[in-house]
Amino acid sequence: MEIKIRSIQIIKPSKPTPENQRSFKLSLFDQLAAFSNIDLILYYKSSCEVNITDRRSQLVNSLSEVLTSYYPLAGRIKEDGLEVDCCDQGVKYLETRVTMTHDSFLKEGPRIDDIR
């Protein structure tokens, strides 16, 4: 299996975060979990033929809209590790192309080294 990165972009919230919400204090649990990472990829087979350009545009626009409500996700953890600077820097969005069918991929199972 070969995975090629087609594009990498930063998706920002569709509307700026209000000044009174620019700082988000992390709970003790959040502080402890902030530097752990859970890799998760969800795979879905399309139920019909879709225009990939339309689907991509819909996904990017939806993510931008959602980040307006979940504004801390588009921010950065401050150096002290106690707060998130809700600065609307955005999230990384990667689009890839895989040289294998969806059914084959799920049958063989993903190899973590191929995905990283």
Least-confidence region, from 24-28, 35-39, 83-87: 35-39
β-pair type (83-85, 23-25)? antiparallel
What does the pLDDT read at residue 114?
A: 62
Backbone angles phi, psi at 89, to 5 degrees: -70, -25
Report all structural domains of the chain as residue ranges with CATH numbers, in order of start.
3-115 (3.30.559.10)
What does the pLDDT read at residue 68?
A: 97
- Using alpha carbons, list the distances in angstroms from residue 18 to 38, 46, 65, 113: 29, 37, 15, 41
Mean pLDDT value of segment 15-26: 96
What does the pLDDT read at residue 116?
A: 60
Its pTM stands at 0.76
> Measured at the alpha carbon of residue 44, what is the angle toward residues 110 and 49, in degrees to the nearest 5?
125
Q: Tokens 């939806």 correspond to what residue?
A: 62
